[in-house]
């Protein structure tokens, strides 16, 4: 069963990865933004289903996402405040994960779930659009960090996993898997830095590249655990069944939802610092 699931994962990745990379590298930013909105819409549908949104609540949820996306697209000055709000929210999520099940009650309320969904999904969308607009290759850097972390965690966890990382939230995740994911992500970041010396200069040194990689991977793990927490509260195994071996859209983008806003803020801080030189 495990080998079959792994083959399904590989086959799905071989189909999805070229599609995502082609859109990332070939499309202008405004078309890339629309491409991402397709995934956001699918993720929103799964979010609504897991939270059992019905009737006007579901309509309000999709309307809020559409409205927030339009505002963030047309009014650029709203993007940085939104990224800050999203970053603060992920700090709250980290606390909720550590303290689960205490304090999780409010998350079961439809009104709060709508707000959280809008912040999470539109925040990640505008972060990826901003990164693509600044330098599209950095979206690839971000994706490689998250993918390397997922792959390293999967294989290290299966081979060496003993100590549970967050047993009340996601019993299958282990500290050994986490270390394996971090290690592979750092190796990928180091390899990229060697091939792109300009990045090292812009980010003020090789060690800073590795530090940013470590930050991105750490935040991506929070995103992964957050989706596990949501599935646990919804009492479902996967967010959906769209991707064989992977589950739904949220199962595939959960790490990106947290990592993208964090990375966008890091890039913004470097641009702000360079403007002071």
Residue 267 has pLDDT above 50, yes or no: yes
Q: pLDDT at position 176, please?
A: 96
- Strand 164-166 versus strand 170-174 pairing type: antiparallel
d(CA 148, CA 172): 18
Taking the CA atoms of 10, 262, 130 and 141 in sequence, report the sign of the dihedral they define.
negative
| 133-178 confidence digits (pLDDT tens) | 989 999 999 999 999 999 999 999 999 989 999 998 988 899 999 9
Strand (E) positions, the chain?
164-166, 170-174
Count of domains for the chain: 1
| 84-115 confidence digits (pLDDT tens) | 999 999 999 999 999 887 866 666 777 888 89
- Residues of the chain with pLDDT > 70, as a percent, come to 88
Q: How confident is the model at residue 247 (pLDDT cuts 50, 70, 90)?
A: low
Q: How confident is the model at residue 277 (pLDDT cuts 50, 70, 90)?
A: very low
Q: The domain containing residue 62 runs over which residues?
A: 2-275
| 218-227 confidence digits (pLDDT tens) | 999 999 999 8
Residue 125 has pLDDT above 70, yes or no: yes
Three-state SS at 104: coil
Q: pLDDT at position 15, please?
A: 75
């Amino acid at each position: 069963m495990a080998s079959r699931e792994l083959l399904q994962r590989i086959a799905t990745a071989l189909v999805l990865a070229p599609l995502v990379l082609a859109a990332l590298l070939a499309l202008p930013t405004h078309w890339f933004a629309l491409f991402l909105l397709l995934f956001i819409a699918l993720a929103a549908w799964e979010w609504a289903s897991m939270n059992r949104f019905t009737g006007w609540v579901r309509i309000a949820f999709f309307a809020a996402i559409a409205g927030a996306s339009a505002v963030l697209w047309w009014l650029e000055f709203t993007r940085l405040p939104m990224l800050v709000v999203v970053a603060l929210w992920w700090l709250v999520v980290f606390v909720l994960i550590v303290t689960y099940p205490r304090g999780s009650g409010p998350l079961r309320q439809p009104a709060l779930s709508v707000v959280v969904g809008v912040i999470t999904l539109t925040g990640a969308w505008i972060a990826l659009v901003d990164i693509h607009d600044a330098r599209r290759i950095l979206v690839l850097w971000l994706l490689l960090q998250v993918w390397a972390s997922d792959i390293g965690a999967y294989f290290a966890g299966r081979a060496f996993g003993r100590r549970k990382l967050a047993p009340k939230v996601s019993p299958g995740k282990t500290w050994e898997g986490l270390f394996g994911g971090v290690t592979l992500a750092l190796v990928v970041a180091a390899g990229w830095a060697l091939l792109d010396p300009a990045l090292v200069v812009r980010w003020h040194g090789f060690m800073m590249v590795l530090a940013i990689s470590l930050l991105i991977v750490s935040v991506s793990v929070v995103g992964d655990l957050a989706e596990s927490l949501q599935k646990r509260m919804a009492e479902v195994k996967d967010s959906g069944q769209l991707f064989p071996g992977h589950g739904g859209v949220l199962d595939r983008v959960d790490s990106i939802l947290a990592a993208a806003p964090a990375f966008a803020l890091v890039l913004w801080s470097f641009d702000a610092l360079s403007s002071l030189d």
